[in-house]
Structure 1
Amino acid sequence: MVDSLLLQFMLIGILGVGSQWVAWRFRLPAIVVMSIVGLLAGPVLGIMNPEEDFGDLYKPIISLAVAVILFEGSLNLDFKEVRGLGRPVFRIVTIGAFLSWILGALAAHYVAGLSWAVAFVIGGLFIVTGPTVILPLLRQAKLKPRPAKILKWEGIIVDPIGALLAVFAFEIIEFILGTDVNPSALFTFFLASVFAVLLGLVCGKGVGWMFETGYVPEFLKSPVVFTVVIACFTIADEVTHETGLLSVTAMGMTLANMHISSIADMRHFKENISLLLISTIFVMLTASLTQETLVEIFNIQTIGFVLLMLFIVRPLSIFISTWGTDLSKSEKLLVGWIAPRGIVALTVASYFSSILLDSGFEDASILISITFALVFTTVVAHGFSIGWLSKKLGLSMEGPPGVLISGGSPFSTGIAKVLEELKVPVLIADSSWERLSKARSTGIKSYHGEILSEQTEYYLDMTPYEYLIAATELDSYNALVCTTFVPEFGRNNLFQLSLSNREGDNLEGLVHTIGGRVLFKEGASWEDLNDMVENGYVFRKTNITEQYTYKKYLENIDEHALLLFIKKPTGKIEFYSSEVESRAENGDVVVSLTPPSKEFERIQEKLEEQRKDPKKK
């Protein structure tokens, strides 16, 4: 057991972030890796037990982390995004949540053997599919926009509702079974919920107004937001337990729909904080479980309850609630299956376990075991199945990593055509119909619109594309595009053309701090590349084999040819860049822009071979 709290914090951080890296490296569900790592560090090997070691600080740390995660998730709930999905989403978070509560309570009573009181509390709790688990799964699965948005909206909105339902069920139980019947307690609970929502709205509007009017300097904006989030959560939670989650959700949605530029700028920073919190908190929760809790999970009643929740309760509530909507059968099947539970379920279950035990409900002692059984089972089952099932149902965007090109031109069209021939998804985006005309006439997929516009994210699905090439004639615009999309694509997957030699542009100092990696080689500017295409240069694909090695290829290639990219057998694209040395291997395809003289010589050689051996025709 690690005695030092400082060492424990270090170990939790390493295990959490390390789990995320392992999941990314080996394409595994991150939540599953974190759960296993936490179990190994806690009940299995006994290295640490954060709940015991942190003492009174444990629950506040978890609660504040959940509040920040939920707020960050709700910042993505822009009502523009839900266009055309309003009816299904509304039904799922209302009718679907209610059905899930009732059916879950029935399953908990008749299968898990819990009393009606505890069953209704746990039934309300288990409707949650929060952002701590659903958002990492969506990043992993690359779903099509419709099902992805439905699952995201449900997860973030239902998260506080589930906690409130559990509180509401407990208040009802106390009201019915209490010796001092007090109807005002229920009324107070509803007032507290309304107060929480209003507090979130006021905090959101207040922060937004301060940012828009310049009352907060840029360097203080992130600290102010986090401070207000914690204050909003704490005030509401002190009034009535668990209403704080409702308050921060309302605050996040308010800010998201005010469309303040500074909030959008900070969103990616908060996403990083949220990812760090998810990693560490999940490890803390699983490491705090006891061996007794793990043993109780394998109880036949617990197993039966979990299976019923997975295969009956969730699908039934989704199919009934979405009856008559425009959701396809495939979308209903996917949404009806994917419902992983996470941090909120574990934390709230821990709270109610002690409260119900103090109130005399002895069967509440197995509440944590049942909760963890459902959390771990759903995380594993849905984490490993979402990719496979979405592909089977035709709802996945999974495929070779695609290329998004900003800027229409003869060169853009040429390289896009080659990528398309190599079965690589490609799209050219430009705000000018004229610059897109060549791509459209060639049949290349295109998007007419400003790629930096706020509307682009609603009309252009960027899920299939892992690489972005900024290939306009304006160097400063290319740098701006690359800098804007760093959070979405990552700096290593962003490329821009080499700087032009036009007089008046002095961006040499700028390009080293912002923008993407320089494509191909220094000097291969927009003008040069398009001149090459206009002068008859040809895009040439060459297979590297054991007989024709990369070394021989480099020896034979024309000195004026330009190496563009390497296509790996896995589908990965490796663009040539002056910043990274690329090397092709056996099985790769190398694409180059070759002078017409070299291409003419190659054609002449083929004709000569055919004259000598007519069978080669």
Structure 2
Amino acid sequence: MVASILSEIMLIGLLGIGSQWVAWRYRMPAIVVMSITGLLVGPVFGFMNPEQDFGDLYKPIISVAVAIILFEGSLNLSFKEIRGLGRPVFRISTAGAFIAWILGSLTAHYIAGLSWAVAFVIGGLFIVTGPTVIMPLLRQSKLKPRPAKILKWEGIIVDPIGALLAVFAFEIIAFLTSTNPDGSALLLFFAASVFAAILGWACGRGMGWMFETGNIPEFLKSPAVFIVVIFSFTLADEVMHETGLLAVTAMGMTLANIGISSVADMRHFKENISILLISAIFIMLTASLQVETLLKVFDPHIIGYVILMMFVVRPISIFLSTIGTDLSLNEKLLLGWIAPRGIVALTVSSYFASILGGAGYEDASLITTLTFALVFFTVVAHGFTIRWTARKLHLSMEGRPGTLIVGSNKFTINLAKSLKEQKAPVLIVDSSWERLRLAREAGIAFYHGEMLSEQTEYHLDTIPYDYLIAATDFHSYNALVCTTFIPEYGRTNVFKISPYNLVDSDVNSTVDKVGGRILFKEDVSKEELTNKISSHYKFRQTAITDQYKYKQYLEEKEDETILLYIIKPSGQIKFYSEEMRVTPENGDIVVSLTPPVKEIKKIRERLENQRDGNGK
């Protein structure tokens, strides 16, 4: 066991973030790594049991964390994002959820052997997927925008619906089995749900008004939202258990759709907090499981229940609910397969296990085992298969890493052409039709719009692109673009053309320090690159082999050569930058901008041959 609570908190954070890093480093599903890590330090080796060690604080910590995670997810639910997807999302979140509830309840009764009461409660609970499991999968899978958005919206909207369905089922059961039926409890449930939705909306509108009128300073905006989220969740949850999830979802969606600029800044803060909370909670929940619970997972009835939920209940609910929509067969197949359960199912199930057990339902003790079995098997199965399934169904944006170039000019057009020759996706973005003429003539994919505008955020699909290069004529704009997109692309994948020049070195030294790494060399400005293109410099590809080492290449290349990027055999691209060490290895291809020495030499030889021929 861990020596102290402080040491345990430290270890939970370390294991959670460590699991996220291992998953990123070895391209594995993060939720799978976190779940296995929690099982190892908890029931397997017995290093910790957070539920036992934290005592009465355990459940409130989990509940508040889930509320914050769900709010952060709903903060991304802008209605502009689902133009053309409203019908499938609505159908899946309503009719699909209802069908999954009924079929899941029947499966729990006839296969898992639960009583009707417990089966309908757990059936309602298991319709949830949620941002805690969907978001990490979407980050790693590179799905096409359409199925990705549907899965995201379904997960966030259905999360509170599933919890409310379970509460509703319990209230119905209590009403029907009572010796003196009283409808007041049902009325209270519906009133509490409406109250939670109105509370969340009011908190969202109130915070939006405070932001727009300047009543909250910038440095207090994120902390203020953080506290109001906890306030709305707690107040609604005190009125009726699990309605707090509905309140924070309503608050997040309200803030996302009232059009205030501060939401983008808060979103980055909330994303960072959510990653930390998801990591910690998965460790805590899995580490708190009992060995007996794990052993019961291998019961044939429980395994049969999980298999039917994954391969029968989910596909049927998706196919029936999407009849009449414009979803393709492949999209329906993917949506019918991907439905991992996560934190909300684990946390809410423990609550219902206790109250159903207290109400005299002996089979309620199986709820925790069933929940863990479904969570673990769906997380592992869907985590390891989503990329493969998406590729097989042609719904994946997998391929060579793409590059998004902001600014259309002679150099960026030629750079895009060289990347295109390497079969790497490339897109040029510019707000000027005149400047984009070069891209149109060269056959390069382009997007006409302002890179920093809200419309571009909703209409430009950035999923295929792993790198961003800002190469406009305005150095301050390049720096602003880089600063804006660093949270999305990562600091090592965002570049800008050097702002360096001899005339205005003081200003440029300031711009140089703002966002984005300098591409190629500090003393190679956009003007110089454009001039080299006008001087007929060529993009050359040089393979590094055992016979032709990189050192030899550096010694033999022309002094005026500018090293641009290398391409690994895997397709990975690494751009040269003085702030990043790039060392090509055998099998790599070095792409450079080279003086036209060979071409000039050939022209001279041709002229000499012609002169010699004429002389004869």
Normalising by structure 2, we get a TM-score of 0.97
Whole-angstrom distance in 2 between the partners of 1:602 and 1:234: 78
Q: Distance in 2 between matches of 1:3 and 1:117?
A: 42
Contact 2:498 2:512 in 1 (8 A): no
After superposition, the Cα gap between the structure-2 partners of 1:2 and 1:581, relative to the gap in structure 1 and judged at 3 Å, is: closer
Residue 287 in structure 1 maps to residue 287 in structure 2:
yes
- What residue in structure 2 maps to residue 369 of structure 1? 369
Tell me the equivalent position of 2:120. 120
SS in 1 for 2:507: coil
Mapped to 2, the partners of 1:447 and 1:37 lie a distance apart of 44
Query: Which has the higher mean CA deviation after the structures are superposed, 559-568 or 52-61?
Result: 559-568
* Deviation (angstroms), 1:506: 3.8
- Asked if residue 108 in structure 1 is aligned to residue 112 in structure 2, the reply is no
1:506-525 alignment to 2 at 5 Å? 506-525=506-525
Q: Which runs of 5+ in 2 are unaligned?
A: 609-616
Does the 8 A contact of 1:142 with 1:398 survive in 2?
A: yes
| Aligned counterpart, 2:394 | 394
Q: Which residue of 1 aligns with 2:142?
A: 142
The superposition leaves residues 254-293 of structure 1 with CA deviations (integer Å, 9 ceiling, x where unpaired) of 0000121112112111100000000000100000000000
1:380 aligns with 2:345: no
Which amino acid in the other structure matches residue 190 of structure 1? F
2:24: which partner in 1? 24
Cα displacement string for residues 521-541 of structure 1 (whole angstroms, at most 9, x for unaligned residues): 122111111011011111111
Q: Provide Cα deviations, 1:173-219, integer angstroms capped at 9, x if missing partner.
A: 11011223111110111000000000000000000000000000011
| Separation (CA, whole Å) in 1 of partners of 2:6 and 2:477 | 46
For 1:333-372, list aligned pairs within 5 A: 333-372=333-372
Q: Which residue of 1 aligns with 2:614?
A: none
Alpha-carbon distance between aligned partners in 2 of 1:303 and 1:98, rounded to the nearest angstrom: 23
Match of 1:576 in 2: 576
CA contact (8 A) 1:565 1:576 kept: yes
- Give the equivalent residue in structure 2 for 1:613: none
The SS at the match of 1:395 is coil
Partners of 1:461 and 1:553 in 2: how far apart? 38
Query: Within 5 A, what are the aligned runs for 1:74-93?
Result: 74-93=74-93
Residue in structure 1 matched with residue 528 of structure 2 by the alignment: 528
Residue of structure 2 in register with 1:244 after alignment:
244
Residues 50-104 of structure 1 show CA distances to partners (whole Å, capped at 9, x for unaligned) of: 0000000000000000000000000000000010001110000000000000000
Report the equivalent of 2:455: 455
Residue 278 of structure 1 is matched in structure 2 by 278
SS at match of 1:485: helix
- Cα displacement (A) at 1:511: 3.4
Asked if structure 2 preserves the Cα contact closer than 8 Å seen for 1:406 and 1:470, the reply is: yes
**Distance (whole Å) between structure 1 residues aligned to residue 603 and residue 22 of structure 2:** 49
What residue is the counterpart of 1:478 in the other structure? 478
Q: What corresponds to 2:612 in structure 1?
A: none
2:510 is paired with a residue whose SS is coil
Cα distance in structure 2, aligned partners of 1:57 and 1:333: 42
Q: Distance in 2 between matches of 1:442 and 1:513?
A: 34
Moved over 2 A (4+): 500-513, 597-608
User: 1:543: Cα distance to partner?
Assistant: 1.1
Contact 1:49 1:288 in 2 (8 A): yes
Which amino acid is 1:172 matched to? I
Q: For residue 536 of structure 1, what is the amino acid of its counterpart?
A: H
Select between 517-526 and 476-485 the one with higher mean Cα deviation: 517-526
What SS does the aligned partner of 2:219 have? helix
Q: What corresponds to 2:404 in structure 1?
A: 404
Q: 1:534 to 1:184 in 2, by over 3 A?
A: same
Q: Tell me the equivalent position of 1:423.
A: 423
Q: Is the 8 A contact 2:397 2:463 kept in 1?
A: yes
Change (3 A) 1:64 1:602: farther
Q: How does 1:593-604 map to 2 (within 5 A)?
A: 593-601=593-601
Work out the CA distance in 2 between the residues paired with 1:432 and 1:500.
24
1:599 & 1:156 partners in 2: Cα distance? 59
Answer yes or no: is the 8 Å Cα contact 1:500–1:527 preserved in 2. no
Aligned residue runs from structure 1 range 154-193, under 5 A: 154-193=154-193
d(CA) in 1 for partners of 2:90, 2:253: 15
Other-structure match for 1:330: 330
Q: CA deviation at 1:607?
A: 12
Equivalent residue, structure 2, for 1:39: 39
1:310 counterpart residue number: 310
AA of the residue aligned to 2:534: E
Cα distance in structure 2, aligned partners of 1:395 and 1:603: 49
Report which stretch shifted further, 569-578 or 35-44. Answer: 569-578
Q: Distance in 2 between matches of 1:531 and 1:152?
A: 46
Q: Which amino acid aligns with 2:366?
A: I
- The one-letter amino acid paired with 2:92 is I
Counterpart contact for 1:540–1:591, Cα < 8 Å: yes
Q: TM-score, normalised by structure 1?
A: 0.97
Q: Which segment drifts farther, 210-219 or 545-554?
A: 545-554
SS for the counterpart of 1:325 is: coil
CA distance in 2 between partners of 1:607 and 1:350 (Å): 87
Deviates more, 1:263-272 or 1:29-38: 263-272
Is 2:551 aligned against 1:551?
A: yes
Query: Which residue identity lines up with residue 225 of structure 2 in the other structure?
Result: V
Question: For 1:408, what is the secondary structure of its paired residue?
Answer: coil
- 1:47 Cα deviation after fit: 0.3
Distance in 2 (CA, whole Å) between partners of 1:386 and 1:497 is 37
Indicate conservation of the 8 Å contact 1:475/1:500, yes or no.
no
Instruction: Provide the C-alpha distance between the structure 2 equivalents of 1:470 and 1:236, rounded to a whole number of angstroms.
Output: 46
What is the CA-CA distance between 1:508 and the residue it aligns to? 3.6
Q: Could you tell me which residue of structure 2 aligns to residue 445 of structure 1?
A: 445
CA distance in 2, matches of 1:192, 1:605: 88
* Aligned position for 1:70: 70
| Amino acid in structure 2 at the alignment position of 1:478 | N
Give the CA deviation at 1:599.
Answer: 3.9
SS in 2 for 1:346: helix
Inter-partner Cα distance in structure 1 for 2:339 and 2:254: 26
CA contact (8 A) 2:500 2:508 kept: no
The answer to whether the 8 Å contact 1:500/1:526 transfers is: no
Supply the distance in 1 between the matched residues of 2:96 and 2:452 (Cα, whole angstroms): 37
CA contact (8 A) 2:500 2:522 kept: no
Structure 2 residue identity aligned to 1:209: W
Partners of 2:567 and 2:185 lie apart in 1 by: 66
CA gap 1:272/1:606 in 2 versus in 1, 3 angstroms = farther
CA distance in 2, matches of 1:602, 1:198: 77
Structure 2 partner of 1:54: 54
Give the equivalent residue in structure 2 for 1:541.
541
- Please give the secondary structure, in 2, of the residue aligned with 1:154: helix
Measure, in 2, the Cα distance between the counterparts of 1:111 and 1:127.
17
1:572 deviates by 1.2
CA drift at 1:581: 2.9
CA RMSD of aligned residues (A): 1.4
**Partners of 1:39 and 1:607 in 2: CA distance:** 77
Secondary structure of the residue that 1:511 maps to in structure 2?
Answer: helix
- AA aligned to 1:497 is I
C-alpha deviation, 1:504, in angstroms: 5.4
Deviation at 1:601, TM superposition (A): 3.3
Alpha carbons 2:353, 2:368 under 8 Å: kept: yes
- For structure 1, which segment, 232-241 or 425-434, has the greater mean C-alpha deviation from structure 2 after superposition? 425-434
Report the Cα distance in structure 1 between the residues aligned to 2:583 and 2:57, rounded to whole angstroms. 53
Task: Between 63-72 and 459-468, report the one with greater CA deviation.
Answer: 459-468
User: Mind listing any 5+ residue stretches in structure 1 that lack a counterpart?
Assistant: 609-617
Q: Partner amino acid for 2:95?
A: I
Number of aligned positions between the proteins = 608
What is the aligned partner in structure 1 of residue 611 from structure 2?
A: none
CA distance in 2, matches of 1:507, 1:208: 36
**378-387 or 598-607, which moves further after superposition?**
598-607
C-alpha deviation, 1:604, in angstroms: 7.6
